[in-house]
């Protein structure tokens, strides 16, 4: 292939810039022309494209967000929108496309593949909700941001002998809550993969108080409930001093961690190498510490498995075994 395009789509994720930088630089290294498409699929439909060179990706590896910018594009979910996108790519002599994003973005990439444009997906989402890869770009940085927040909130909760509900992102996936619950030593972790039982949460807080532990962190994945309303429900019992925080979009920003720069750089190069060999319709991932690729249709059809071993382990290592397991 002689000319490829790259876009970022859906929610941004720290490390996307590392992937863009690596893909652009490797493509130029193997004499390919690279077109940056701004604002995801919306930018494709609006023909917001520009040539990228070595310098256009200088000084970005350490930046959060995406220099290509991103958008959610309802028009590209339609067959007409997808066909229009393909026509624009053909008109601009683009031989292949790299899409960096999450599950919604991959549906767009799959559509491009099915309509004859060789397309490669790179997983970029803080949610870590893509089944075919152990990690997506941005997850690690978001976890570190959440850990920092847990540490800070714990300081004040311990001083005031309070419980705190911390709501984290993740859409329908509990990974952000689960992994940071383990890393941050949360007393209770609530994930969408298990039904929320408020009575059980109260029971565990009660047990904890009986044992003399007057404070604790309840980590709540957004897909399982809302921090403020859960705190109100628990307050109704009249037994607990409880506060709530919603971390929100601060989880999506910030300078990418080493791991996300490593994933971004390797996956960016891997994607271009596939296109260089004329291979499209694949998604790049990491499994057991090895980068690999798989068929885009197959990968998109996979269902994410909840890490029940980690969840159970969290229950054992959380002091007083306060976690809500297996509702």
Residues of the shown chain interacting with ligand F6P in the complex, contacts defined by CB under 6 A: 11, 102, 125-127, 169-171, 222, 252
Least distance to ligand F6P, CB of residue 11, Å? 3
DSSP 62: T
- Shortest spacing between CB 171 and ligand F6P, in angstroms: 4
C-alpha 136/C-alpha 127 separation (Å) is: 8
Q: Which residues contact 303 (CB under 8 A, 6 or more apart)?
A: 131
- Does the active-site annotation cover 127? yes
Q: In angstroms, what is the minimal distance from the CB of 74 to ligand F6P?
A: 12
Q: Smallest gap, in angstroms, from Cβ of residue 10 to ligand F6P?
A: 6
Q: Report how far residue 188's alpha carbon sits from residue 165's, in angstroms, rounded to the nearest whole number.
A: 9
Of the candidates 12, 103, 127, 140, the residue annotated as catalytic is: 127
CB of 227 to ligand F6P, least distance (A): 14
**CB 49, CB 35: distance < 8 Å:** yes
Closest by CA position to 121, among listed 249, 302, 258: 302
Q: Which is nearer to ligand F6P, 112 or 169 (CB)?
A: 169
Both tokens of 326, joined, read 């297996």
Cβ distance to ligand F6P smaller for residue 24 or 126:
126
Report how far residue 315's alpha carbon sits from residue 210's, in angstroms, rounded to the nearest whole number.
19
Closest to ligand F6P by CB, 125 or 208: 125
Closer CB to ligand F6P, residue 180 or residue 215?
A: 180
3-state secondary structure of 8: strand
C-beta of 6 vs 173, nearer to ligand F6P: 173
Count of positions (residues) in the chain: 327
**Two structure tokens written together for 280:** 């499209």
Q: Which of 229, 171, 191 has its CA nearest to residue 323?
A: 191
Active site members? 127
């Amino acid at each position: 292939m002689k000319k490829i395009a790259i876009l970022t789509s859906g929610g941004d994720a720290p490390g996307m810039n590392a992937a863009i930088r690596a893909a652009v630089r490797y493509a130029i290294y193997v004499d390919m022309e690279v077109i940056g498409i701004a604002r995801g699929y919306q930018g494709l439909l609006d023909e917001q494209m520009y040539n990228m060179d070595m310098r256009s990706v200088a000084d970005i590896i350490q930046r959060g967000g995406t220099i290509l910018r991103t958008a959610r594009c309802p028009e590209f979910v339609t067959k007409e929108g997808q066909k229009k996108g393909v026509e624009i790519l053909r008109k601009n002599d683009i031989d292949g496309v790299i899409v960096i994003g999450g599950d919604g973005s991959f549906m767009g990439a799959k559509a491009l593949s099915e309509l004859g444009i060789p397309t490669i997906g790179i997983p970029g989402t803080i949610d870590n909700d893509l089944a075919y890869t152990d990690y997506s770009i941005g997850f690690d940085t978001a976890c570190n941001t959440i850990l920092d927040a847990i540490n800070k909130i714990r300081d004040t909760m311990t001083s005031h002998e309070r419980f705190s509900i911390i709501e984290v992102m993740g859409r329908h996936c509990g990974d952000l809550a689960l992994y940071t619950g383990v890393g941050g030593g949360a007393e209770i972790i609530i994930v969408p993969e298990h039904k929320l039982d408020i009575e059980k949460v109260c029971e565990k807080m009660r047990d904890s108080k009986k044992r003399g532990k007057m404070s604790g962190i309840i980590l709540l994945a957004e897909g399982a409930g809302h921090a403020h309303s859960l705190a109100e429900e628990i307050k109704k019992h009249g037994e607990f001093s409880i506060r709530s925080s919603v971390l929100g979009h601060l989880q999506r920003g910030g300078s990418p961690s080493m791991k996300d720069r490593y994933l971004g750089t390797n996956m960016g190069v891997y994607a271009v190498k596939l296109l260089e060999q004329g291979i499209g319709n694949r998604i790049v991932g990491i499994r057991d510490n090895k980068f690999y690729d798989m068929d885009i249709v197959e990968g998109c059809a996979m269902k994410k498995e909840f890490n029940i071993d980690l969840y159970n382990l969290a229950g054992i290592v959380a002091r007083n075994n306060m976690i809500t397991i297996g509702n």
